[in-house]
Structure 1
Amino acid sequence: MSRRYHTTELGSIACEDLSDVGAGKEGWLVSDPNLLTALDTHSLALANRSIVLVLHWSDDADPSSYRLKIVPDLSPIAAEYISAIEWLVFDDVRVLAIGTSSGFLLIYSLQGDLIHKQLVNNAKIIKLRVRGTNKDLLEDTSSEEVCVVMRATVARFDGSDIQSMLHRWFRERQLNFWDESYMRRDQEYSGASFGRLPYQLWNVSKYGLCADAAITGIMPPPLMEPQSSQRYYCAVTVGDDAVISAYRLSEDRSRSIVGAILSKVVPATFSTISSISKMIWRSDTTTKKQEEKPQPLARASPLTCLKDYPRKGEKLTLSPSGTLAAITDSLGRILLLDTQALVVVRLWKGYRDASCLFVEMLVKKNSATVGSAGYQYEKSDYCLCLAIHAPRKGIVEVWQMRTGPRLLTIPCAKGSKILQPTYRFVSSISSSSYVPLEVFFLNGDSGQLSVLNRSLN
């Protein structure tokens, strides 16, 4: 009865198409390491190595009324497969981003059209992170980004660049919808007709390869550094060699010695060799599509690391502001990291194979005003908490941040996952009520989807 009291059922995703992503046996949702999930409002994306299934549900329609299958054109020679998925949600545009084992970023529309394809780096993409920080008293600038995580590098795409590209694509698509020649040209270019999206790329393998990473936000420049207009970012990584590592990321590629060599010496040398070869061999003038290459690396300065063999970092979860990170390790511990001071401020033990998500709950003791009719909830009404899913215990615990008590213990069925909708890019400040972070429960065996209630009462 406690689970019914603290959660609200939303519907079921059960349908025949789920067999395409491995459904049909007990525990299929959590037993397959290649099965990926991404949640958005009324939509769920499930992906195995070669196919993505998008399911949609609503309160007044059949949960399986909208189904979409996306089969990316992957390279059979390189044994390429889908390694990461995430939603990209803007004010009026919603698309699905896919990362591949060959380092390509693919963006698809909800009609299954390939909008964009770009090589980020010649390495497997293990995570796509979408986050943003609004301008307030603590942050003098706003930042919205898509972070692409690989084993040795991280890349950052600015949200405004992606939004501009998507608007151009949808506008041109709408204007030329009935033009058959445009449709053929669009398929031929395979999403590359708008050129490359600008991005920054950093090497974060100073202390070993990473299992997960995140750009936590903007940080001040180093001491004695001359003031400039460029931004510095903080990146936190977790991995086998170092449980936690932190880096200061610079936007300026010219300060990287490797980047300077790659961006100046190599192109000049290649141009000279190409000119000489043309003079000698007088090759024909047939044009070939130039092979896409990743861009030079920018400077990443190591800040600190925590090595504690045989402990290994496994997964990382960021709070909405990026000031806290929950990190799970191979010894069944959960570390709460202050990403600004770069110190561990809390530790939980006995949570093997755990998953963590930050959630905002209504925990005010004086709820007379808050519970009155017509009251619009504000951000100050909610308290930041951490939901810890312990599958071996079959429970989900909710702890108040940073040093608060355990507020809830909720039974969670075996074969279930906790999920959270992706960050929504907002171009302007909305006048509507504040939308807090929520945690959803997906039971893979029954297909039932439910949400954790915001109030503890």
Structure 2
Amino acid sequence: MDTESPIRSKNRRLSAAVVAQIPEALLRLLLGEQGGSEPRDSIGTSSAYAERYHALLRKAVFAASMDGSYLAVACSERFMLLGHPEDASMCYRLISVGSEAALPGETVTAIYCMDIYAPSLLPGTHHGQQRQQQQQQGKQGSQLLCVVVGYSSGYLRVFSMYGHLLTAHQLHSQPLLRIQHRMPLHAASEGGGTLPTQPHSRSTPEDTEEVCLAYADGTMVSIDGQSLYLALRVCQSEAAAGEASEPTFQYKKWSFDVSTPQVSDAVSYGPVVCRDPLARLAMGSMTSNPLPSDATARFLVAPMHGKAAFGVFMTNEDVAVSYSAVDIAGRVAARVTGAVLNMAKSYFWRGSPLLAGGGSDRAEVARQSSPGKTDRGTTVPCVLAVRDSPRKVLEISLAPVHYGLAALTDTLGRVMLFDLESSEVVYMLKGLRGSRCAWLEADSGSASQRRVFVVICASKRGVVEVYELGSMESPLASINVGPGWAPIQCPTQPLGGSLLVGSAGNEHRAALPCLASCLLVNDRGQVARIAIDAS
């Protein structure tokens, strides 16, 4: 892809333009001695030397902030956070770099750029507007973004924007494959009907914001998003004051009932409760439908071995909440003030067993509710398995939560569109071997609807195709970008976005979702942004 001008599809509906480049000096800093020691002025001056770097960069893991202005990249034991260029050079700026690999042989296996809701900013205001506000107020935005890093040891480490370690937890002892931030449906659909809505007989009032950690052995840890948000705010306050302590959050631990406990990917899509008695009766009488009408947790899992290409795992078991530490109430009261303290009170003093009783009761609950890092947690059974040997699903890409869809790529070059509510494959595309998927949204011109698109990047063919939901028979547009490109999905909501803020009687969610977007990155360190003309 040319850096000088954007590439456009023949129908002018899709365009891609290189917006930034990772400088060679930063690539050397990231890859270290792995790329070889041959001195060159440019990576491109030696084909063998360049190929070593390109091969290493293909193995790197990437993540982007909500608006794409920050890019996190990790390879081996090292990671770095890069800022969008602020001059004509188109080169990323180094914001922070770190390793913090405490164990021999430990490597980074997952990374996530986590935007943090800041009460001082208006809902829906993110890094672009944050920088303008901060310049006007003379403040720095170091508290508004965290880098969440997963390691082969199972460790989860959270760093501030400038590389300060905020917290570290080993909730499981296997490699951490994926870090997923999932919003409940009700938190993503409030706000004046700006999102597409569909009638549902199954509602999820018990659903909460969560950060899900998928491990290689088929274990999933679901961290309560609101408690993690408040814990990180405590950490940030203490870090600013030159103090340090262990933050506290709530989590649940699950394991998938698979014959060989190894997975390629796994995602959570929340609980479901059937509120319609007639619908419950109808579902119970359908012998061809094995899915339970109620579930406290639902997962889509891609086993690495066995006959199943992928499976749906559900449970209606109530799982006890575990606590990563104790005495969060005292820390919240002592270290968090203003709007965050008000939110903390409304959240933590609503009947949590850890806080309801006296000190001895809290300590007893904490002692009984922390599973070991080798414990695989509550077993979740498989209620539906799709078998089509030798096909195996490699990656799962979730659409924004209000669509209830996922795009699955497999070893046979197929892309499947999977309906999470009906557990059916609603569309399948073929001939896309080595592809990866992402999602885009665009305003439709109507105040009540958004248009959603599946972005398929076929790296080996060097083609990016975009399909619109509702017309999957042929791509809306396609462009040739060349081989070696892969998509990076940008988050749509910050951590803490599901919190209720505002005065009594006028409460609203802290942050509504922005339009889904994605970036493209290649093995030469170029980053491109794609755009859809939805007119």
Shorter-chain TM band: 0.7 to 0.9
Give yes or no for the alignment of 1:146 onto 2:187: no
Distance in 2 of aligned mates of 1:422 and 1:166:
18
Equivalent position of 2:378 in the other structure: 298
Structure-2 residue corresponding to 1:454: 532
Answering whether residue 178 of structure 2 is matched by residue 127 of structure 1, we say: yes
The offset of 1:403, in angstroms, is 4.3
Distance 2:249 2:80 in 1: 26
Q: Which amino acid counterpart does residue 146 of structure 2 have in structure 1? A: V
Q: For 1:75, which of 103, 106, 109 is the aligned residue?
A: 103
CA contact (8 A) 2:69 2:84 kept: yes
For 2:387, the aligned partner's letter is K
Cα distance in structure 2, aligned partners of 1:350 and 1:297: 39
Q: For 1:345-360, what aligned pairs fall within 5 Å after superposition? A: 345-360=426-441
1:360 shift after superposition = 1.4
In the TM superposition, what are the counterparts of 1:395-410 in structure 2 within 5 Å? Answer: 395-404=463-472, 405-410=474-479
Residue 169 (structure 2) pairs with residue 118 (structure 1): yes
Q: How far apart are residue 292 of structure 1 and its match?
A: 6.5
Cα displacement string for residues 178-222 of structure 1 (whole angstroms, at most 9, x for unaligned residues): xxxx4xxx3xxxxxx235532111111425432101002222279
Residues 61, 130 of structure 1: CA spacing in aligned structure 2 closer, same or farther, 3 A cutoff? Answer: farther
Q: Which amino acid is the alignment partner of residue 69 of structure 1?
A: V
In the alignment, the residues of structure 2 paired with residue 33 and residue 91 of structure 1 have an alpha-carbon distance, to the nearest angstrom, of: 32
Contact residue 6 and residue 17 of structure 2 kept, 8 A: no
Shift of 1:234: 1.0
CA distance in structure 1 between the aligned counterparts of 2:182 and 2:385, rounded to whole angstroms = 24
Aligned partner letter, 1:36: V
- The residue type paired with residue 406 of structure 1 is P
Any stretches of 5+ residues in structure 1 without a counterpart?
187-192, 225-229, 256-289, 365-369, 371-376
Whichever residue aligns with residue 89 of structure 1, its letter is D
Change over 3 Å in CA distance of 1:239–1:150 after alignment to 2? same
Superposition pairs for residues 228-377 of structure 1, below 5 Å? 232-240=296-304, 241=306, 242-250=308-316, 252-253=318-319, 293=373, 297-321=377-401, 323-362=404-443, 370=445
Aligned to 2:63: 38
CA distance in 2, matches of 1:148, 1:15: 32
Cα distance in structure 2, aligned partners of 1:27 and 1:250:
49
1:391 aligns with 2:475: no
* Structure 2: segments with no counterpart, 5+ residues: 36-42, 44-49, 119-143, 190-196, 282-293, 322-369, 502-507
Query: How far apart, CA to CA, are the structure 1 residues paired with 2:316 and 2:59?
Result: 33
Task: Supply the RMSD in Å over aligned alpha carbons.
Answer: 3.2
Q: Which residue of 2 aligns with 1:436?
A: 515
Aligned to 1:227: none
Q: Which residue matches 2:130?
A: none
User: Within 1, Cα distance between the matches of 2:226 and 2:390?
Assistant: 42
- The 5 Å alignment of 1:100-111 reads 100-111=151-162
Cα contact 1:316–1:325 (8 A) shared by 2? yes
SS of residue paired to 1:44: strand
Question: Is residue 379–residue 436 contact of structure 1 (8 Å, CA) maintained in 2?
Answer: no
User: What secondary structure is seen at the aligned counterpart in 1 of 2:236?
Assistant: helix
Deviation at 1:328, TM superposition (A): 0.9
Q: Could you say if the C-alpha distance between residues 110 and 449 of structure 1 is closer, same or farther in structure 2, counting changes exceeding 3 Å?
A: same
CA contact (8 A) 1:324 1:337 kept: yes
1:160 lines up with 2:226 in the alignment: yes
- Of 18, 25, 46, which residue of structure 2 is paired with 1:16? 25
Tell me the SS of whatever aligns to 2:299. strand
* TM-aligned CA deviation for residue 84 of structure 1: 0.8
For 2:395 and 2:109, how far apart are their aligned partners in 1? 15
Please tell me whether the aligned partners of residues 29 and 415 of structure 1 are also in contact (alpha carbons under 8 angstroms).
no
* Structure 1 position 10, deviation (Å): 2.7
Match of 1:3 in 2: 7
Measured after TM superposition, the shift of residue 48 of structure 1 is 0.9
Matched letter for residue 10 of structure 1: V
In the other structure, the counterpart of 1:268 is none
Instruction: Report the 3-state secondary structure (helix = DSSP H, G, I; strand = E; otherwise coil) of the residue aligned with 1:37.
Output: strand
Secondary structure at the counterpart of residue 265 of structure 2: strand
Structure 2 CA distance for partners of 1:401 and 1:291, relative to 1, 3 Å: closer
Distance apart, 1:254 and its partner CA: 6.2
How far residue 134 of structure 1 moved from its aligned partner, in angstroms, is: 4.1
User: Contact conserved, 2:371 with 2:377, CA < 8 A, in 1?
Assistant: no
Aligned pair partner of 1:48 in 65, 70, 75: 75
Give 1:112 deviation, angstroms. 1.4
The match for 1:422 among 491, 510, 516 is: 491
Aligned-pair distance for 1:349? 0.8
- Does the CA contact (< 8 Å) of 1:335 and 1:348 recur in 2? yes
**TM-score, structure 1 normalization:** 0.76
- Aligned residues, how many? 388
Q: Is the 8 A contact 2:453 2:468 kept in 1?
A: yes
- Cα separation, partners in 2 of 1:33 and 1:379, compared to 1, 3 Å: farther
- Tell me, in whole angstroms, the C-alpha distance in 2 between the residues paired with 1:131 and 1:30: 32
1:252 deviation in Å? Answer: 2.3
- Rounded Cα–Cα distance in structure 2 between residues aligned with 1:129 and 1:432: 18
* CA drift at 1:133: 3.1
CA contact (8 A) 1:323 1:339 kept: yes
- How is 1:135-214 mapped onto 2 (pairs within 5 angstroms)? 135=186, 136=189, 139-141=203-205, 143-151=208-216, 152-174=218-240, 176-177=241-242, 182=243, 186=244, 193-208=245-260, 209-214=262-267
Percent sequence identity is 20
Q: Aligned equivalents of 1:147 and 1:309: distance in 2?
A: 29
What is the CA–CA distance in structure 2 between the aligned matches of 1:358 and 1:232, rounded to whole Å? 27
Greater shift, 197-206 or 326-335, is seen at: 197-206
Aligned-partner Cα distance in 2 for 1:249–1:105: 26
Structure 1 contact 94–109 (Cα < 8 Å) conserved: yes
User: What amino acid is aligned across from residue 115 of structure 1 in structure 2?
Assistant: L
Residues 397/111 of structure 1: CA separation in 2 closer, same or farther (3 Å cut)? same
Distance 1:410 1:104 in 2: 40
Letter in 2 for 1:393: R
Is residue 258–residue 303 contact of structure 2 (8 Å, CA) maintained in 1?
no
- Larger CA deviation: 416-425 vs 314-323: 416-425
Aligned equivalents of 2:400 and 2:428: distance in 1? 20
2-structure distance, mates of 1:198, 1:292: 15
1:267-298, Cα deviation, whole Å (9 max, x unpaired): xxxxxxxxxxxxxxxxxxxxxxx997456612
Q: C-alpha distance in 1, partners of 2:208/2:55?
A: 33
Q: What is the CA–CA distance in structure 1 between the aligned matches of 2:383 and 2:390, rounded to whole Å? A: 22
Q: Among 63, 84, 92, which residue is 1:64 paired with?
A: 92
State the one-letter code of the partner of 1:169.
C
> In 1, distance between residues paired with 2:52 and 2:516?
27
| Structure 1 residues 434 and 73: alpha-carbon distance in aligned structure 2, compared to 1, 3 A threshold | closer
- Write the letter of the residue equivalent to 1:20: L
